[in-house]
Every structure is written in structure tokens, then in C-alpha cells.
Structure 1
Amino acid sequence: MDLFTLVRREVAEGVLLVLDDIDPVHRQCVGVVQQLLMASPVVCMAVSTA
């Protein structure tokens, strides 16, 4: 199961996705966050950098 399927399945119960210390993979994380929000705009995200 991929991340997008998991988020769509669990969004009815509420999802908080935490991405911590994304500096080394910043560009990849931006793309993932954009795709997730487009697929399921009610997902809550907390993103941090070092």
C-alpha cells in the first residue's frame, strides 16, 4: 500500500502527517506534500527543518 492510498483510507478518522528534518530531501518532500494535499485536502501536516 502506498502513502497516498493510506492517507485516503484513514482521512475519515483524521490524519496528522509529521515530516521532521526535511532539509536533506526538501525538494522531494515538497512534491509529496503537494500531491497529498491535492489528493486529500483535509490532511493535516506538520513539517520541520533542522
Structure 2
Amino acid sequence: MDDELDKVFQLYTNGHDLHDPYLSPLFGDFTKGFPSSRRRRLAAGGSSRGQ
């Protein structure tokens, strides 16, 4: 079973480190905040079209 998971991980990561934040949000830097969301734009009176 571990060999099968290793093969899946290798395919998913394409040789990159599993700790890369682009591959796993567990290792991301969230201290800089998040991009604005659609809901936030709508609450501010923005349009939902084309944004």
C-alpha cells in the first residue's frame, strides 16, 4: 500500500518537495492574508460580473 501511495505522490509532485506551499496549503504562509473574495467585493457594492 505504501508503494502505491508513493507512486501517487511522485506523480502529483512531479519531483518537487512535498513541503512546497504550492503543493500543500499546510505549509503555506498565511501571515500575509488572503486575496479578496467575491463576497467581500459584493458587500462593498462591487459587481459580480467580470470580476
TM-score (norm: length of structure 2): 0.31
TM-score normalized with structure 1 length = 0.32
Work out which structure has the larger RCO, using CA pairs closer than 8 Å and 6 or more positions apart in sequence. Answer: 1
